[in-house]
């Protein structure tokens, strides 16, 4: 599709959270002020982003503290503040009071978030964080794998939402490993259904991309990884960053957001998931 200035809408399509971390990464590569991730967030909102997602890391490798302050002051859609479960981050979130918070695992040496949060293994810490952030007026989500024990622990810890990690599915899609892709899709569906059965709101994200003709894609890939996940009716929100910002390099931010929204809407409407059955 071509962006025409009018936004596509669909009542039951997943909301799109646009992660702006990678704009900040580009800025920080030169140590200056451009490109400004807050300006990117403003443009994303104008183009139809439902949520702005960002991750303030311990080492401040992309988003910085002053970015967080400006995002809170200038962005009019809900902010989704991703952060590790540390006292420093919880204190910053309590001061900032974003609408949404997603608690994630974090290792300084990782390139991007690897795996899901181990709620079972650090239950007391996560439960205390959920209580603190709820008191601050934040809706808390836990970024976890589609593992039933972790989902049970998330519900017990008091988190109203979970975001299920789609990294393994995305990797299988890129590798054109249909067997693994089907296995990951089945696992994701089971996790979503289990979480919904516990009364949790269910989101998904990490590594999702488009079959857009602009980049190398798996040979014979039937649909995009974004479409496979967006087609699942349990998914209320998709949070996408790297592939969307990468796509915008070729087509611009407005068109990139229009393309990802159109992909989600079409997949939800047409039930693209059936292509793998």
- Specify the length of the chain in residues: 277
- Any catalytic annotation for residue 100? no
Query: Could you tell me which of 144, 215, 214, 228 has the C-alpha nearest to residue 178?
Result: 228
Q: Find the helix or strand (DSSP H, E) in which 184 lies.
A: helix 178-197
177 CB-near residues (< 8 Å, 6+ apart): none
Query: Mind giving me the DSSP string for 3-39?
Result: --SS----TTSPEEEEE-HHHHHHHHHHTSS-S-HHH
CA distance 200 to 221: 32
Alpha carbon 98 to its chain centroid, in Å, reads: 16
Of 194, 206, 239, 247, the active-site residue reads: 206
- Any catalytic annotation for residue 99? no
Residue 73: C-alpha distances to residues 42, 66, 67 (Å): 11, 11, 10
CA distance 58 to 110: 12
Of 55, 62, 100, 194, the active-site residue reads: 55
- The dihedral of CA 46, 161, 20, 205: what is its sign? negative
- Any catalytic annotation for residue 242? no
Of 62, 82, 100, 237, the active-site residue reads: 82
Which residues belong to the active site?
55, 82, 206
């Amino acid at each position: 599709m071509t962006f025409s200035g009018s936004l596509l809408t669909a009542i039951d399509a997943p909301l799109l959270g646009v992660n702006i971390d990678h704009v900040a990464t580009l800025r920080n590569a030169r140590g200056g002020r451009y490109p400004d991730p807050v300006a990117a967030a403003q443009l994303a909102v104008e183009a139809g982003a439902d949520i702005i997602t960002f991750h303030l890391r311990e080492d401040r490798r992309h988003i910085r503290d002053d970015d967080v302050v400006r995002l809170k002051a200038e962005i009019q859609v809900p902010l989704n503040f991703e952060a590790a479960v540390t006292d420093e981050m919880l204190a910053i979130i309590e001061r900032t009071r974003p609408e949404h918070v997603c608690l994630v695992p974090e290792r300084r040496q990782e390139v991007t978030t690897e795996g899901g949060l181990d709620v079972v293994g650090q239950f007391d810490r996560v439960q205390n964080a959920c209580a603190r952030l709820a008191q601050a007026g934040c809706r808390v989500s836990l970024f976890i794998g589609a593992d039933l024990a972790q989902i049970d622990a998330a519900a017990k810890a008091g988190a109203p939402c979970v975001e299920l990690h789609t990294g393994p599915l995305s990797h299988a899609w890129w590798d054109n490993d249909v067997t693994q892709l089907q296995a990951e899709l089945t696992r994701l569906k089971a996790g979503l259904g289990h979480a919904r059965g516990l009364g949790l709101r269910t989101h998904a994200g990490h590594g999702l991309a488009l079959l857009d003709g602009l980049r190398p894609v798996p040979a014979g890939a039937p649909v995009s990884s974004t479409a496979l996940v967006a087609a699942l009716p349990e998914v209320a929100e998709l949070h996408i960053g790297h592939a969307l910002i990468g796509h915008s390099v070729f087509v611009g931010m407005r068109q990139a957001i229009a393309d990802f929204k159109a992909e989600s809407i079409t997949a939800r409407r047409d039930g693209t998931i059936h292509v793998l059955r």
